């Protein structure tokens, strides 16, 4: 079931479908992977030119002034066409920057495509929680100096800058920092879909006062909102991958014949696909709903944790059916279903996998009667 | 996160909120305490005074057009009424008259039939039952064989109906009967008759359910004479007529409230029994709560689209499959939370309330069998939505 969209949203969805169809697809994802690139620059540029990075930036700051529901409309086709590019990460950073007054330079660099800035957040729902990791800071000669590591940051190797959270003895700071500055090192590792993520390590890294985007509770709230948005948006991409896998599998079982009949005429297979379909329908409604209340603060973190866990779980199940119903061809690198699977594995694990997020859901709802 | 059915993912408008408050106050003051939170099934005679109260308040048939005594209510108002009645644990009126045959009579009945039958349905003075299923005709309903032969100005009915909810309490049955045994396709030979349950030759035998009560019954028809004017719609039009039920019905039978109540009880009970300390229990609870969250979103989304007349074909079967599965799994988990106490016949006391775990588990069997099984609904999606080929 789709959301009731207004005309502007319909246009946005249609142009997103077109752009992703043109700049995406399994073939392109495969060749990108084989050429060793962790992201599709060309696709990202096209998205930036279309204004997508600024989806959730207010109009007076040069953005589209839209909300998470519109971001949904962009991300779903990205999943569907397996476009590997940090649209979500950029849009989330842009949203966070646009909520401070002193961020014009960083924001325009990001929106003009001069710098790729991605979140490198350590915390609940973002990456594995680990008390020894994350950035800590202290003030030295009146200057903020940070150190520490945040692992598994998607697109870290290509990024020019990071949105980071620095814990100091007094308060937490949300900062936007230059990734090429001395004291910042990135070590990246490739994922099975061709994308990569990296550990960002800061050593004796000095942060200029104008790099501080927010402080205290404001910094904590904004960092959590970014982490939530990343988990939410990744879930939307996962849903897109699943839609694609469903279409591909339906086409296959309608045409492939065995025992004199199309595979799709066997009820055992029909009902299995229906169960996947039902799960996808539920996920779509859940994501629509959370996105529509996100901008007004109506999306409790537990909802997002639940949505990420459920989308990760369902993607595993959908792709299991998809691969199985393709038989041996599904086990080849040549067939596109495998590309979708690998992309789903990566997005499923990113920003908290099924079990991490379901555990987080449990903690967030624990005290309830 | 607030798990309250009324507020989580609410789409209430300002008017809806006002209506909800009004209903909530009225239900609190008027719902008969002896009917609330009952473990046993409230049979039609016991329910009648409550039905009548709702009728007097104008809330028995919110979805009926005003000219027939309804409220002409929006789907949201219907859902609100339902939610606020079940909030206090009170039963809702049986659907067979108000939701099934009532709307069909409104659409397909003659003026005489409307005048004769609608007032009793509305007030609850007459109890109705649905005579569709037979021993040999369940999922494959079109294979039904109870025969009706026209003899002058009467139909003579012979055969056997089964699984008829409230058959032994009913004053009237709306029945699908075979009037043309040669018809192809088979459903082109079926007619809808309104049958007086006191007719000579009609024998009713209650059937005890797993739950221990007699929810349904079977009926034997031995040359039962049904006046011709009790035919609803035309001869051999029964199948089409039966399809005139309003889609809004799904929103009460498919409401997420069972899962919501069971999971809340499972949480509380687990803390009482110690099951809470078991990580396996908590993980399963979490998985189901996440499913509930998703299904609540789907349900609200469906209501919105249905109200905008934009609901897809898949909606009713998805509600049935997702909601039914979730409700059953939630009842299963409640049984796990109860441990060895679970299968005991006595109620378990749970912070002041009583819960009967096994009885709830039995109750939930119905959701995947009654009015179209889960499998039949899967087949509907695979044919009509996924457009998968026939064998
Ligand atoms: C609580 C309750 C109340 C009821 N109230 C009424 C009532 O008031 N009036 C009335 O007329 N009926 C009533 N029914 C009957 C109900 O409509 C039937 O039980 C239902 O249609 C299924 O028919 P069946 O029981 O004969 O099962 P069957 O049709 O024999 O099915 C048995 C199993 O086989 C599966 N199956 C059947 N065909 C297929 C297929 N083609 N592919 C895959 N699987 C298949 C079914 O899904 C089911 O799991 C009630 C039933 C219950 C449980």
Cross-chain Cβ contact B301/A289 below 8 Å: yes
Enumerate the residues of chain B whose CB falls inside 8 A of the CB of residue A239: none
> Which of B130, B133, B140, B218 has most ligand 1 atoms within 8 Å of CB, for mutation?
B133
A96 and A77, same domain (yes or no): yes
What are the pLDDT digits (tens) for B115-144? Answer: 999 999 999 999 999 999 999 999 999 999
Containing B104, the helix (H) or strand (E) segment is helix B102-108
> Which of A265, A266, A267 has most ligand 1 atoms within 8 Å of CB, for mutation?
A267
| Best mutation target, A289, A310, A311, to test chain B (most B CBs within 10 A) | A289
Does residue A63 lie in a domain region? yes
Q: Residue B181: phi, psi to the nearest 5?
A: -70, -15
pLDDT band of B283, cuts 50, 70, 90: very high
Say if A273 is an interface residue toward chain B (CB within 8 Å). yes
Enumerate the residues of chain B whose CB falls inside 8 A of the CB of residue A361: 286, 289-290
Cross-chain Cβ contact A288/B301 below 8 Å: yes
Question: Is pLDDT above 70 for B389?
Answer: yes
Q: What share of chain B is helix, strand, coil (3-state, %, to 5)?
A: 50, 15, 35
A204 and A241, same domain (yes or no): no
**Residue B293: which of A1, A262, A306 has the nearest Cβ?**
A306
DSSP per-residue codes, B247-290: GGGHHHHT-THHHHHHHHHHHHHHHHHSGGG-HHHHHHHHHHHH
Q: Could you tell me the pTM of the whole model?
A: 0.96
d(CA B84, CA A363): 30
A26 and A96, same domain (yes or no): yes
Enumerate the residues of chain A whose CB falls inside 8 A of the CB of residue B372: none
**Residue A274: which of B302, B386, B391 has the nearest Cβ?**
B386
Cross-chain Cβ contact B314/A290 below 8 Å: no
- Catalytic site positions of B: 249
Among residues A115, A146, A170, the one where a domain terminates is: A115
A251 and A326, same domain (yes or no): yes
Question: Is pLDDT above 60 for B72?
Answer: yes
Q: Which domains does chain B have, with CATH numbers?
A: 14-93 (1.10.540.10), 128-236 (2.40.110.10), 246-385 (1.20.140.10)
pLDDT for res A132: 57
DSSP code for B319:
I
Question: B119: Cβ–Cβ under 8 A, 6 or more apart, which residues?
Answer: B69, B125
Cross-chain Cβ contact A4/B308 below 8 Å: yes
Does residue A48 lie in a domain region? yes
SS3 A278: helix
Say if B282 is an interface residue toward chain A (CB within 8 Å). yes
Cross-chain Cβ contact A369/B264 below 8 Å: yes
| Atom of ligand 1 minimally distant from the CA of B209 | 1
d(CA A6, CA B229): 50
A98 and A191, same domain (yes or no): no
d(CA B64, CA B105): 11
A234 and A362, same domain (yes or no): yes
A261 and A317, same domain (yes or no): yes
d(CA A249, CA B67): 51
* Domain region containing A336: 219-368
| Percent with pLDDT over 70 in chain B | 99
What are the pLDDT digits (tens) for B47-68? Answer: 999 999 999 999 999 999 999 9
Does residue A79 lie in a domain region? yes
Residue B141 CA to ligand 1 center (angstroms) comes to 9
Contact A171, A219 (CB under 8 A): yes
pLDDT for res B6: 79
**What number of other Cβ atoms are within 10 A of residue B103's Cβ?**
22
> Tell me, what CATH number does A73's domain have?
1.10.540.10
Does residue A59 lie in a domain region? yes
SS3 A18: helix
Enumerate the residues of chain B whose CB falls inside 8 A of the CB of residue A368: 1, 3, 267
Contact A312, A88 (CB under 8 A): no
Say if B11 is an interface residue toward chain A (CB within 8 Å). no
> Tell me, what CATH number does A252's domain have?
1.20.140.10
SS3 A183: coil
A359 and A236, same domain (yes or no): yes
A48 and A146, same domain (yes or no): no
Does residue A306 lie in a domain region? yes
DSSP code for B91:
P
Cross-chain Cβ contact B389/A262 below 8 Å: yes
Ligand 1 neighbour B329 (Cβ under 6 A): no
Cα B76 to Cα A85, A284, B6, B65, B82, distances in angstroms: 41, 21, 11, 15, 10
Which chain B residue is nearest to residue A272, measuring alpha carbons?
B378
A364 and A227, same domain (yes or no): yes
What are the pLDDT digits (tens) for B75-121? Answer: 999 999 999 999 999 999 999 999 999 999 999 999 999 999 999 99
A243 and A352, same domain (yes or no): yes
Question: From the CA of B282, how many Å to the nearest CA of chain A?
Answer: 8
Question: From the CA of B174, how many Å to the nearest CA of chain A?
Answer: 33
pLDDT for res A210: 93
pLDDT for res A125: 52
Does residue A184 lie in a domain region? yes
Say if A253 is an interface residue toward chain B (CB within 8 Å). yes
Torsion of CA A18, A22, A24, A29, to 10 degrees: 170
**CA B215 to chain centroid:** 13
Among residues A80, A115, A150, the one where a domain terminates is: A115
Closest C-alpha among A166, A153, A160 to residue A119 = A153
d(CA A310, CA B289): 11
Residues B67-101: b if buried by 16+ CB within 10 A, e if exposed: ebbbbebbbbbbbbbbbbbbbeebbbbbbbbbbbb
Question: B328: Cβ–Cβ under 8 A, 6 or more apart, which residues?
Answer: B364, B365, B367, B368
Domain count along chain A:
3
Among residues A215, A248, A268, the one where a domain terminates is: A215
d(CA B390, CA B379): 10
d(CA A135, CA A355): 25
pLDDT for res A127: 55
Question: From the CA of A327, how many Å to the nearest CA of chain B?
Answer: 18
| Atom of ligand 1 minimally distant from the CA of B129 | 8
Question: A124: Cβ–Cβ under 8 A, 6 or more apart, which residues?
Answer: A224, A227, A301, A360
> Tell me, what CATH number does A210's domain have?
2.40.110.10
| Atom of ligand 1 minimally distant from the CA of B139 | 29
Cα A65 to Cα A97, A208, B193, B389, distances in angstroms: 14, 29, 60, 46
Is it true that the peptide bond before B185 is cis, omega within 30 degrees of 0? yes
Does residue A2 lie in a domain region? no
SS3 B213: coil
SS3 B390: coil
**Residue B9: which of A1, A289, A307 has the nearest Cβ?**
A289
pLDDT for res A231: 96
Does residue A1 lie in a domain region? no
A289 and A198, same domain (yes or no): no
Residuewise pLDDT in 10s, chain A (369 residues): 888 899 999 999 999 999 999 999 999 999 999 999 999 999 999 999 999 999 999 999 999 999 999 999 999 999 999 999 999 999 999 999 999 999 999 999 999 999 999 999 986 555 555 555 799 999 888 889 999 999 999 999 999 999 999 999 889 999 999 999 999 999 999 999 999 999 999 999 999 999 999 999 999 999 999 999 999 999 999 999 999 999 999 999 999 999 999 999 999 999 999 999 999 999 999 999 999 999 888 899 999 999 999 999 999 999 999 999 999 999 999 999 999 999 999 999 999 999 999 999 999 998 665
């Amino acid at each position: 079931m789709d959301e009731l969209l207004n005309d502007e949203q319909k246009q946005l969805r249609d142009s997103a479908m077109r752009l992703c169809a043109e700049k995406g697809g399994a073939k392109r994802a495969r060749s990108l992977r084989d050429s060793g690139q962790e992201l599709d620059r060309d696709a990202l540029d096209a998205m930036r030119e279309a204004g997508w990075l600024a989806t959730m930036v207010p109009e007076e700051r040069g953005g589209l002034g839209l909300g998470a529901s519109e971001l949904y409309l962009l991300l779903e086709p990205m999943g569907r066409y397996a476009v590997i590019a940090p649209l979500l990460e950029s849009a989330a950073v842009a949203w966070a920057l646009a909520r401070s007054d002193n961020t014009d330079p960083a924001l325009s660099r990001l929106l003009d495509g001069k710098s790729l800035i991605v979140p490198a957040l350590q915390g609940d729902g973002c990456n594995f929680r680990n008390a020894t990791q994350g950035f800590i800071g202290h003030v030295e000669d009146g200057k903020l100096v940070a150190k520490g590591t945040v692992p598994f940051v998607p697109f870290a190797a290509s990024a020019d800058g990071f949105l980071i959270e620095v814990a100091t003895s007094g308060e937490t700071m949300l900062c936007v920092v230059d990734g090429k500055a001395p004291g910042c090192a990135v070590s990246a590792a490739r994922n099975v879909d061709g994308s990569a993520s990296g550990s960002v390590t800061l050593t004796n890294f000095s942060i200029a006062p104008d790099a501080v985007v927010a402080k205290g509770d404001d910094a904590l709230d904004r960092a959590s909102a970014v982490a939530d948005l990343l988990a939410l948006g990744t879930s939307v991409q996962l849903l897109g991958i699943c839609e694609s896998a469903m279409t591909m599998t339906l086409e296959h079982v309608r045409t492939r014949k065995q025992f004199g009949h199309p595979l799709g005429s066997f009820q055992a297979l029909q009902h299995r696909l229906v169960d996947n379909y039902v799960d996808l329908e539920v996920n779509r409604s859940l994501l629509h709903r959370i996105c529509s209340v996100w901008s007004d603060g109506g999306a409790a973190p537990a909802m997002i944790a639940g949505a990420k866990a459920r989308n990760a779980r369902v993607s595993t199940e959908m792709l299991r059916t998809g691969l199985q119903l393709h038989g041996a061809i599904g086990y080849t690198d040549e067939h596109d279903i495998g590309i979708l699977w690998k992309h789903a594995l990566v997005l499923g694990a990113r920003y908290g996998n099924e079990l991490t997020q379901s555990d987080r859901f449990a903690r967030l709802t624990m005290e309830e009667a | 996160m607030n798990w309250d059915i009324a507020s989580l993912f609410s789409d209430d408008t300002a008017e809806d909120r006002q209506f909800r408050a009004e209903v909530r106050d009225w239900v609190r003051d008027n719902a008969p305490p002896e009917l609330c939170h009952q473990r046993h099934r409230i049979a039609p005679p016991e329910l009648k005074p409550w039905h009548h109260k709702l009728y007097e308040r104008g809330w028995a048939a919110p979805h009926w057009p005003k000219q027939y005594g309804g409220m002409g209510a929006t789907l949201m108002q219907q859902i609100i009424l339902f939610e606020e009645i079940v909030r206090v644990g009170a039963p809702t009126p049986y659907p067979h008259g108000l939701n099934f045959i009532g709307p069909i009579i409104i659409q397909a009945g003659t003026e005489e039939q409307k005048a004769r039958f609608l007032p009793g349905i509305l007030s609850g003075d007459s109890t109705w039952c649905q005579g569709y299923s037979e021993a040999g005709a369940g999922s494959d309903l079109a294979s039904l064989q109870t025969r009706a032969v026209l003899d002058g100005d009467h139909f003579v009915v012979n055969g056997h109906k089964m699984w008829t909810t409230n058959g032994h309490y009913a004053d009237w049955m709306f029945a699908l009967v075979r009037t043309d045994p040669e018809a192809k396709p088979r459903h082109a030979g079926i007619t809808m008759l309104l049958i007086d349950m006191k007719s000579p030759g009609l024998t009713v035998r209650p059937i005890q359910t797993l739950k221990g009560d007699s929810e349904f019954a079977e009926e034997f028809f031995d040359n039962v004479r049904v006046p011709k004017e009790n035919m609803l719609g035309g001869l051999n039009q029964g199948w089409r007529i039966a399809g005139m039920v309003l889609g809004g019905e799904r929103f009460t039978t498919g409401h997420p409230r069972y899962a919501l109540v069971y999971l809340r009880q499972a949480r509380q009970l687990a803390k009482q029994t110690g099951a809470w300390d078991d990580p396996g229990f908590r993980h399963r609870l979490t998985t189901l709560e996440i499913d509930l969250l998703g299904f609540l979103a789907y349900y609200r989304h469906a209501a919105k689209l249905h109200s905008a007349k934009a609901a897809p074909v898949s909606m009713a079967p998805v509600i049935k499959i997702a909601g039914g599965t979730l409700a059953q799994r939630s009842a299963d988990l409640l049984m796990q939370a109860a441990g060895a106490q679970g299968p005991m016949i006595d109620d378990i006391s749970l912070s002041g309330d009583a819960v009967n775990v096994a009885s709830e588990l039995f109750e939930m069997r119905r959701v995947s069998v009654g009015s179209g099984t889960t499998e039949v609904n899967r087949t509907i999606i695979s044919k009509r939505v996924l457009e998968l080929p026939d064998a």
